[in-house]
Amino acid sequence: MAKSQELSVQQKKEVTAKEEKTVPARYFMPNTDIYETEQALTLVMEMPGVEKKDVLVQLENDVLRVEGHIDFVKYEGLEPVYSEYNVGHYARRFTLSDKIDQDGISAELADGVLTLTLNKAKSALPRRIAIS
């Protein structure tokens, strides 16, 4: 049975970059839930304000990189009366094990939520052993 949790405002965690950026902007780590089934891992990431055309999902050297870019034009001239989170881009990286089928990764963005499905490699899937 799942533990009940109280709803509370969570502060965005700013990504501290080790390398220099050519674009002056803040990057935040999107809140992410990870679910596992027998067939796959599912990552659900909150990226409010990001449009499909502004999402980058890239896999290189076993590292899955996810970035979401905000269009700051939407926020020009707005002075918040009250603010619970800062506006900025999103970035997150995950190192994948060999148990993930890197050719079987899919992504979907709907209502500011990015869902990544990472299928497990055939060698990592449970299998039934026949008894003779």
| Domain chopping of the chain, boundaries | 25-123
Q: Rounded to an integer, what is the distance from CA 62 to the centroid of its chain?
A: 16
pTM of the model: 0.77
- Joined tokens for residue 88: 């900025």
- Total Cβ atoms within 10 A of residue 18: 4
In angstroms, how far apart are the furthest CA atoms of the chain? Answer: 74
Nearest residue to 31 via CA among 18, 48, 16, 53: 48
Question: Which residue type occupies 82?
Answer: Y
List, for residues 8-61, the tens digit of each pLDDT value: 556 666 666 555 556 567 889 999 999 999 899 999 999 998 999 999 999 999
CA angle 33, 35, 40 (to 5 degrees): 135
Q: Is pLDDT larger for residue 1 or for residue 104?
A: 104
Q: For domain 25-123, give its CATH number from 2.40.10.10, 3.10.580.10, 3.40.30.10, 2.60.40.790.
A: 2.60.40.790
Pairwise CA distance, residues 30 & 46, whole Å: 6
pLDDT band at 130 (very low <50, low <70, confident <90, very high): confident
The secondary structure element, H or E, covering residue 101 is strand 100-110
pLDDT tens-digit readout, 53-106: 999 999 999 999 999 998 888 888 888 888 777 788 999 999 999 899 999 999
What is the C-alpha to C-alpha distance for residues 87 and 48, in angstroms, rounded to an integer? 9
